[in-house]
């Protein structure tokens, strides 16, 4: 039997933004439980909950101050447990974020560690008398961090951090850190969750003369983590966030003994590039450069997430092109990326939004949807950092958006004329069978009937114009001919002689054969029926 995640559809959920049950302005677990009907109806298989731990929330919970506690505005541990149970009762799986690389500087470990050089916790973090070490390690948060070292005046040493300076990196050379992390995983696995999205995994160790990414020692620990999980909690999922090139990602799968899933970062910007240039070449290339992965493993694919649309995995020229095309207004640029949601990136052109989703659902991998993108939510560029793509979920046409009646929600609710709660909300789209939401709903349902889409090889129809993305997905599990037109111009496709197809997304539309024409940005999922 194939593991559940191979053909799963994931839904990335920002708890703070989802539904506020006690009207303190922050989403919470009780609020999430009240919305489970929606997620069940939508048809996703697994919900990924972003960090819900105690945190000063200076990096939206990726700065953990207690690994064992729920952030107070989200509820208490019992709320979490009830939510997991309720999700399971409905057949939904749930994975949670775990931040292994660093903690908040408010974490008691760091508070204790920084008190003196002799602190028993000192070795939980990485300290140095100079800021000269590990110079080959790149800075990730380029817009805010001048260095990966920050001077701590209390003890006159520098501490190491790959992200914000308030997020000191843990020292994985210390066996106590490794053990502490395994204990944390155990604690949450005991709650019955189905797995973890493991944050920022490439950076666990530092070694002089390297870029301090993807080091052998890092893989050694990650394999130990997997052994631990498999031994005590078989079947639970580890999904890696490693923003790397395909050949550097391969070791994260190991021989099927490290992560079962990794996000496929490089393919994502190329989908946007292909659409803008009306040229599939970069996607064809990156898929050709993507090595086969072990049988039990799967790629997680996505169009957007809570971070900027990262352009780390493209050439400098392509980055400029992407910025010029999708972020001409410089306020949309952050670090090496673009802080916008899918619908605004597509100029709110329904045809393009659907096309991109169709590609997500038909290319290899398990799709991960970002909350709100299924209704075409917008972003708010006036908010700092990446907050503009983390605004409250828009449930109904009401100034509260059905999210919270608090006078001071954690973030303004989008209320502009195009993307505001009045135009864009779940309720009105559920009532309208022609809405984007219904289209996404249909794609999810259809995808589930076509397990071949999860892992089958990808065979491009190279003879078709570059402005098309047409490919076969074929294996013993079946066959799908996925057709996509990246341009405004109609695209004629000659179907193989003697074969009749059914349009899986529109099975009542009658059989397709001979020559068919796709309109501007059109797409079809054709299944041979004879």
Residues that bind ligand NOJ (CB under 6 A): 59, 62, 99, 163, 199-200, 241, 306-307
- Name the residue whose CB lies closest to ligand NOJ: 62
Q: Assess whether 206 carries a catalytic annotation.
A: no
Closest CB to ligand NOJ among residues 51, 522? 51
Q: From the CB of 139, what's the least distance to ligand NOJ, in Å?
A: 13
CA distance 137 to 207: 10
Q: From the CB of 515, what's the least distance to ligand NOJ, in Å?
A: 45
Active-site choice (59, 63, 145, 199): 199
Give, in order, the Cα–Cα distances in Å from 357 to each of 3, 99, 363. Answer: 24, 29, 10
Active-site choice (241, 308, 354, 380): 241
Q: Which pair of structure tokens corresponds to residue 155?
A: 């003890």
Q: From the CB of 269, what's the least distance to ligand NOJ, in Å?
A: 16
What is the CA angle 30-36-38, rounded to 5?
135
Between β-strands 366-370 and 10-13, what pairing exists: parallel, antiparallel or unpaired?
Answer: parallel
Closest CB to ligand NOJ among residues 199, 258? 199
Phi, psi of 478 (to 5 degrees): 135, -165
**Terminal CA-CA length for the chain:** 28
Residue ranges in 397-513 assigned as alpha helix (H): 426-431, 436-449, 452-455
Question: Over the Cα atoms of the chain, what is R_g?
Answer: 23
CA distance 258 to 517: 45
Q: Based on the number of CB atoms within 10 Å of its own CB, is 337 exposed (0-12), middle (13-18) or buried (19 or more)?
A: buried
**Other C-beta atoms within 10 Å of 184: how many?**
17
Closest CB to ligand NOJ among residues 60, 152? 60
Q: From the CB of 213, what's the least distance to ligand NOJ, in Å?
A: 14
Closest CB to ligand NOJ among residues 387, 400? 387
Closest CB to ligand NOJ among residues 168, 378? 168
Q: Assess whether 129 carries a catalytic annotation.
A: no
Q: Are 376 and 424 in contact (CB under 8 A)?
A: yes
DSSP-derived letter for residue 513 is -
Q: From the CB of 124, what's the least distance to ligand NOJ, in Å?
A: 17
Query: At which residue do the structure tokens 């190491």 appear?
Result: 160
Closest CB to ligand NOJ among residues 56, 451? 56
Q: From the CB of 253, what's the least distance to ligand NOJ, in Å?
A: 20
The set of residues, in sequence order, having a beta carbon less than 8 Å from that of 138 and lying 6+ positions away, is: 211
Which residues form the catalytic set?
A: 199, 241
């Amino acid at each position: 039997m194939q593991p559940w995640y191979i053909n799963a559809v994931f839904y990335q959920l920002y708890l703070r933004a989802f539904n506020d049950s006690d009207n303190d302005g922050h989403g919470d677990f009780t609020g999430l439980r009240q919305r489970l009907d929606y997620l069940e109806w939508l048809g996703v298989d697994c919900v990924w909950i972003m960090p819900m731990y105690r945190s000063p929330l200076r990096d939206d919970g990726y700065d953990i101050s207690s690994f064992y506690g729920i952030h107070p505005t989200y509820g208490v541990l019992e709320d979490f447990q009830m939510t997991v149970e309720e999700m399971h009762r409905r057949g939904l799986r749930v994975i949670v974020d775990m931040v292994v690389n660093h903690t908040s500087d408010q974490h008691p470990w760091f508070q204790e560690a920084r008190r003196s050089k002799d602190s028993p916790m000192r070795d939980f973090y990485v300290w140095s008398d100079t800021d000269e070490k590990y110079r080959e390690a790149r800075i990730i948060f380029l817009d805010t961090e001048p260095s990966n070292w920050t001077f701590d005046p209390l003890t006159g040493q520098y501490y190491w951090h790959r992200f914000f300076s308030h997020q000191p990196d843990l020292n994985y050379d210390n066996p106590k850190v490794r053990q502490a992390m395994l204990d944390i995983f155990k604690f949450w696995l005991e709650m019955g969750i189905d797995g973890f999205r493991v944050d920022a995994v490439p950076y666990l160790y530092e070694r002089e003369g390297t870029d301090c990414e993807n080091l052998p020692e890092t893989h050694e620990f990650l394999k130990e983590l997997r052994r631990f999980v498999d031994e005590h909690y078989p079947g639970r999922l580890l999904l890696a966030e490693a923003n790397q090139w395909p050949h550097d990602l391969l070791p994260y799968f190991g021989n099927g003994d490290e992560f079962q899933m990794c996000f496929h970062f490089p393919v994502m910007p190329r989908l946007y590039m292909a659409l803008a240039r009306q040229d599939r070449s970069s996607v064809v290339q990156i898929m050709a450069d993507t090595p086969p992965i072990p049988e039990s493993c799967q790629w997680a694919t996505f169009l957007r997430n809570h971070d900027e649309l990262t352009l780390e995995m493209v050439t400098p020229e392509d980055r400029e092109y992407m910025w010029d095309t999708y972020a001409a207004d410089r306020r949309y640029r952050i670090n090496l990326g673009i802080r916008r949601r899918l619908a605004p990136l597509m100029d709110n052109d329904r045809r393009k939004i659907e096309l991109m989703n169709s590609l997500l659902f038909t290319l290899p991998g398990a799709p991960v949807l970002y909350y709100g993108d299924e209704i075409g939510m917008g972003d708010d560029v006036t908010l700092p950092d990446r907050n503009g793509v983390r605004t409250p979920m828009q449930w109904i046409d009401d100034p509260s958006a059905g999210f919270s009646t608090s006078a001071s929600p954690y973030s303004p609710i989008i209320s502009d004329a195009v993307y505001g709660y009045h135009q864009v909300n779940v309720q009105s789209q559920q009532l309208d069978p022609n809405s984007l939401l219904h289209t996404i709903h249909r794609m999810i349902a259809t995808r589930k009937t076509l397990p071949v889409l999860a892992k089958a090889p990808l065979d491009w129809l190279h003879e078709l114009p570059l402005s098309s993305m047409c490919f076969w997905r074929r294996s013993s599990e079946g066959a799908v001919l996925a057709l996509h037109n990246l341009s405004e111009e109609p695209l004629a496709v000659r179907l193989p002689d003697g074969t009749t197809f059914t349009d899986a997304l529109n099975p009542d539309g009658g059989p397709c054969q001979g020559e068919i024409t796709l309109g501007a940005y059109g797409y079809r999922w054709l299944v041979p029926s004879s």
